[in-house]
Structure 1
Amino acid sequence: MVVSQECQVKAVERSYFFSSNEKLSKLKPTYAHLTPMVERDGQTVAYVCVFG
């Protein structure tokens, strides 16, 4: 199951990071989609995070 969260991110070279301290003009509103990738003993231990 994909978990989506609306967030504000800042572009840094080829990636993004979450921020709450930057001026809003520098941030890009987007969605972070977390898709379970690796499970161990029935528990999700890693996710793929896709922005957009």
Structure 2
Amino acid sequence: MRSPSPSDLFVVSGLTAFAAVTGHLLLAVAAAFALRSDTRQWVERRLRRGEQL
């Protein structure tokens, strides 16, 4: 088994960083949508009850 060259390590580390950043962005977008819908439902419940925000 040959040892990896520096360019191989660079490519692997670049792909790993890209995958990590992409995963975090997808999680952030999903969390933003979830929080937005929860917040909207909470506001609608408060307004329906006639309570002040």
TM-score (norm 2): 0.19
Which structure: greater strand fraction? 1
The structure whose Rg is larger is 2
Give the TM-score, by structure 1 length: 0.20
